[in-house]
Amino acid sequence: MCRIAGIISYRLQSEEIKTKVKTMCHALQHGGPDDEGIFSDNEKHLAFGHRRLSIIDLSRNGHQPMADVQEQAWITFNGEIYNYRELKNELLLVGASFHSGTDTEVIIQAYLYWGVSAFQKLRGMFAFALYDKAKALTYLVRDTAGIKPLYYHIENGQLSFSSEVKALKTAGIATQTDSQWQVRFLAFGHIPEPYTTLKNVFSLPKGHFLCWDNNKSTFTSGEYYTHVKESYITNENEAKQLLHDALTSSIDRQLIADAQVGVFLSGGIDSSLITLLANARKTTRLKTISIFFNEKAYDESAYQNVVFNEIQGEKFTHLVKQHDFEESFPQILAAMDMPTTDGINTWFISKYAQQDGLKAVLSGLGADELFGGYPSFNRIQYLRSLRKIPAQLVSLALPFAPDQYKKIEFLSHNHPLADYLLLRGLFTPADIAKILNTDVKQVTDILFSDTITSGCKHYDEEYAAWMETNLYMQNQLLRDTDIMSMSHGLEVRVPFLDEDFHRLTMRISPDIRFSKIQGKKLLIDSFKDILPEKIWNRPKMGFSFPLQQWMQQLPATSNYNLYQGKTAQNVIKKFKENKVHWSKSFALYQLKTHE
């Protein structure tokens, strides 16, 4: 797990390219504290940079950027390839030679022997740039789940890329602000892919590659994974057995490391299951990292203790108090690559994991999206009914709607993002227009101008899963998990998003994959042999902090005199009165302070 950066440009001198890449690497140092490397090809005006967090092959053999033995190809790689040993054995049989025990070198040889088709053979989380010297081509590649970030900027025949947006700005590569980011942020509570806060800086889509012709300074892009429609699994017992085997296999894969791997344990179903499986599979004593609070409504220590009683190893628990939040608030804001209303919880638990001696941890992220663990899976039926109301009638009702029902404004737009924002949105277009002093049409044009296809025909659980996976998890949870954990030099692995496990899950018939009786019932039933009833037979809490209370005591987010405009001031007043969620106050604060 690392941070990467690079530039290909005939507009710049070779030394200037290297200087800018070094500047980006310096800005990314927190995510790769163990080593730095720069590779340059002066003839092609190319430089790759790398900051390393050593997880596999901790020796100098893992130094990047890395080339094959004959130096036919160079790579700068961020992530982990969990099936690299199997791929390496295949490659040895066809004549490949290796000089390290890294997964990085396996990617290079896989490309040299199998070409672009090698990308879909990889199982893991990854973002990398690979330079083919003979063909004068550079590939930017991102994993199929979009776990690892990769941002690129193309202007005047120059390609620049980085693991974080701010590195591109720090190096003076992309300095112009995207004039539309504030609209998107106020609507979503984050900035959805492919957009960023910077003009012409975009996120490479998951499961895609960008191929840059180094001679012509042109590019093509596309998906590297071929989607094959398979028949549904309709037998529940078969589905449970397959899920059991696939998740166990995923855990086995993701425990592979030469550094110690721990587990985030919140006390919920997903983290408890991952912890119990890891404990059973791990040959060394497992480290768990948990957080608890004095505020009993948010404290899950009782459930954490249930799991502690079932496992061996070191259990690290940390009390987080309001004082800790207030003291850390400036550091949390500084760690954000782009504004977001999420990630505070990950920042804290990653900080403690790093302090407790870990470089890598397993997380339960992804199960709610795949198996119906969110309220949206039940609310989708109400959305189906609301969608039958004529848009004209919705417009007439809006002026009379109480504040908590203002989001029905999204019903006047026939767009998948409008459905999502009705369920999870922050501010309505009308309020955004007032806050930013613009008109509503401009706001809605920004939000709904892109054509998006959900692939789902009905307002059902599959549609909810599509929204939660491709919009909420992709744009907020995964990005914030990555940026906040890497700010502490910590790698977060997500077994539920293992490619094979995910594809298996998508093959299970929705009739058995989702349950109206209990969220994630199929997953729970697949592991009832190890999952204590006290863990699965309990109210859902989620890994949340008492931020409503804490932010009300924080002057930066609760003093309405700091804000301009009646709409923003009114939001802060209502927040102080507990009539508005803390995320709205936090969003307005970031809007005011983000540069």
For residue 558, pLDDT over 90 is answered with no
pLDDT, one tens digit per residue, over 359-376 is 999 999 999 999 999 999
Point out the catalytic residue in the list 2, 25, 211, 456: 2
> 373: which residues sit within 8 A by CB, 6+ positions away?
269, 270, 367, 519, 520, 540
Amino acid identity of residue 398, one-letter, is L
Looking at residue 350, its pLDDT comes to 97
Report whether 57 belongs to an annotated binding site: no
Q: Distance between CA 151 and CA 178 in Å, rounded?
A: 14
Residues listed for the chain: 595
For residue 402, pLDDT over 80 is answered with no
For residue 280, pLDDT over 80 is answered with yes
Q: Assign domain 236-372+460-545 to its CATH superfamily.
A: HUPs (3.40.50.620)
Looking at residue 229, its pLDDT comes to 79
What helix, strand, coil percent values describe the chain, rounded to 5? 45, 15, 35
Q: Distance between CA 52 and CA 348 in Å, rounded?
A: 22
CA distance to 18, 389, 409, 453, 482, per residue, from 392 (Å): 58, 8, 11, 24, 42
The arithmetic mean of pLDDT across residues 314-332, rounded, is 96
Looking at residue 70, its pLDDT comes to 92
Looking at residue 1, its pLDDT comes to 66
> 111: which residues sit within 8 A by CB, 6+ positions away?
73, 118, 119, 130, 132, 139
Is 25 annotated in the active site?
no
For residue 346, pLDDT over 70 is answered with yes
Report whether 525 belongs to an annotated binding site: no
Report whether 291 belongs to an annotated binding site: yes
Looking at residue 391, its pLDDT comes to 75
The arithmetic mean of pLDDT across residues 8-35, rounded, is 95
Is residue 255 within 8 A of residue 282, CB to CB? The reply is yes
For residue 211, pLDDT over 90 is answered with yes
Q: Residue 283: pLDDT band by 50, 70, 90 thresholds?
A: low
Residue-range domain boundaries for the chain: 2-223, 236-372+460-545
DSSP 288-347: EEEEE-SSGGG--HHHHHHHHTT--SEEEEEE--HHHHHHHHHHHHHH-SS--S--HHHH
Q: Distance between CA 273 and CA 311 in Å, rounded?
A: 11
Q: Distance between CA 129 and CA 74 in Å, rounded?
A: 8
pLDDT, one tens digit per residue, over 241-266 is 999 999 999 999 999 888 889 999 99
Is residue 584 within 8 A of residue 575, CB to CB? The reply is yes
Is residue 511 within 8 A of residue 236, CB to CB? The reply is no
Closest CA to 145 of 163, 164, 127, 125: 125
For residue 303, pLDDT over 90 is answered with yes
DSSP 417-453: HHHHHHHH-SS-HHHHHHHHT--HHHHHHHHH-S---
Of 57-71, 166-180, 496-510, the one with minimum mean pLDDT is 57-71
Report whether 31 belongs to an annotated binding site: no
For residue 235, pLDDT over 80 is answered with yes
Closest CA to 508 of 490, 522, 497: 522
pTM: 0.95
Q: Distance between CA 152 and CA 327 in Å, rounded?
A: 34
Task: Tell me the CATH number for domain 2-223.
Answer: 3.60.20.10
Looking at residue 594, its pLDDT comes to 84
Of 349-358, 359-368, 449-458, the one with minimum mean pLDDT is 449-458
